Amino acid sequence: MIGELAIIFIGAVLVNNFVLTRFLGLCPYIGVSRDLKAAAGMGLAVIFVMTIASAVTWMIYYYLLLPGPANLWAGLLGRGGDLTFLRTLSFILVIAALVQLVEMALLKTSPALYRALGIYLPLITTNCAILGVAFLNIDYFFGSAGALEGSFTKSLVHGFSAGIGFTLALILMSAIRERLETADIPEAFRGAPIAFLTAALLSMAFLGFTGLI
């Protein structure tokens, strides 16, 4: 189990990095990578939300949408239909509400952390990487016969490591971009173009991890 989890971790951070290999969450990647401090804050918020979203969407999928013995409707009505087609809708709903709740709780319990995460916490409600991790959890950890063994833990670890991978990419990018600020760049490449080129080069570098697992 530990070995499997380690492979999931390495896989999500390096091999299938959400930003650099899967191209998910590109808007914050370009938008918030201008300085290191903001990037770290954003990364922290994403790790946090991805982990929680993994747990909650797993529960929604397992207990409400997927037909089987654990299905809530099967328990109530005797039989439950296959509601997996609702996953996009219900996941977005749940993630949005969840982030709101987390935001309120943070404001109450830890104003310092709330302020550190700042505007990024509500922003990532609509981040495609969050929804992406929820879907990938289902693709990976649910077989045709229902949930695979230990799928809840695996989902959690996958969500957490996807967040770590996102943060890694974001911090690398922002560190490079901070240096680019003072570099002598041809005028036509200044701003977004050089950022895209840098992102492409970073992405190619991460291609080197392909054979790792």
By CB under 8 A, residue 77 contacts other proteins: yes
Q: Which residues does 170 contact at the CB level (< 8 Å), separation at least 6?
A: 19, 28, 29, 32, 33, 39, 42, 43
Nearer to other proteins, 73 or 209 (CB): 73
Nearer to other proteins, 97 or 204 (CB): 97
Strands of 20-177, DSSP E: 142-143, 146-147
Q: How far is the CB of 70 from other proteins (least distance, A)?
A: 14
| From 43-51, 82-90, 187-195, 198-206, span contacting other proteins (CB under 8 A) | 82-90
Question: CA 52, CA 159: separation in Å to the nearest integer?
Answer: 8
By CB under 8 A, residue 12 contacts other proteins: no
By CB under 8 A, residue 126 contacts other proteins: no
Size of the site for other proteins (CB under 8 A): 26
By CB under 8 A, residue 80 contacts other proteins: yes
On the 0-12 / 13-18 / 19+ scale of CB atoms within 10 A, 78 is exposed
| From 26-34, 98-106, 126-134, 192-200, span contacting other proteins (CB under 8 A) | 98-106
Single out the residue of 33, 34, 88, 20 nearest to residue 60, CA to CA.
Answer: 88
